[in-house]
Chain A
Amino acid sequence: DIQMTQSPSTLSASVGDRVTITCRASQSISSWLAWYQQKPGKAPKLLIYKASSLESGVPSRFSGSGSGTQFTLTISSLQPDDFATYYCQQFYSYSTFGQGTKVEIK
């Protein structure tokens, strides 16, 4: 099984901050990774697919990078609507999600 480890688990930040979330795979997954945003009581929303492709309609302040075993999700300037939990997902072999990173107000 491919394990996905996100860091940090919780991140405190202010509006306007640049935020980076890391996802590490237990083995190489090439670029077969997606990022999701989830708000309380809501379903996850796709942000990024194939590591760096921005889903249509997602603000350009979100970006993804990485390949192999190390990936990052960056929010260039945090907005009030961005306080949420973020998950990575590998789809190289079946599917595994990271444990999530909660972005909270500092």
Chain B
Amino acid sequence: QLQVQESGPGLVKPSETLSLTCTVSGGSISSSRYYWGWIRQPPGKGLEWIGTIYYSGSTYYNPSLKSRVTISVDTSKNQFSLKLSSVTAADTAVYYCARRMGITIFGVVAEGWFDPWGQGTLVTVSS
């Protein structure tokens, strides 16, 4: 059964870059059927999609975060990664990685729902 797991520092200083890695086990990140995504959840608040990557390296970002986000994939390690630059306290959140189902909408392959999710990792932005 496929599993995803986040890893990375739990504390990041303001203005620095947050870096997280998601390791995929029990399946290949290079499957053409799936995308891979990052979602975050500030403490006590709702879910926010950050961005998605395909194994080929194609990326799709939330317009509100696009200027600060980079998502990359390493197929040799079955991992994908998130970098969020110039962080502030507002970026403090639980960060989740997840597999995203690929679907066909009007003949075009697009991103669907998230399943499964990692357990999440809390990243706090503080000096």
Contact = CB atoms under 8 A, between A and B. Distances in A.
A92 B60 contact: no
- The SS class assigned to the A binding surface is loop
B105 A98 contact: no
A89 B113 CA distance: 8
B25 interface: no
A83 interface: no
B89 interface: no
A12 interface: no
B119 A43 contact: yes
B119 A94 contact: no
Interface in B70-127: 96, 101, 103, 105, 110-120
B69 to A, nearest CB: 13
A92 to B, nearest CB: 7
Nearest to A96: B49
Interface residues of B, number: 24
B123 to A, nearest CB: 15
Nearest to B62: A94
Contacts of B16: none
A46 B60 contact: no
A55 B118 CA distance: 18
29 contacts: A34-B112, A34-B114, A42-B119, A43-B96, A43-B118, A43-B120, A44-B117, A46-B113, A46-B116, A49-B112, A55-B115, A87-B46, A89-B113, A91-B103, A91-B111, A91-B112, A91-B113, A94-B49, A94-B111, A95-B37, A95-B52, A95-B62, A95-B111, A97-B47, A97-B48, A97-B49, A98-B46, A99-B46, A100-B47
Given A49-B113, A50-B112, 14 more contacts: A32-B103, A32-B105, A34-B113, A42-B119, A43-B96, A43-B119, A44-B114, A46-B114, A46-B116, A49-B101, A87-B47, A91-B111, A92-B105, A100-B47
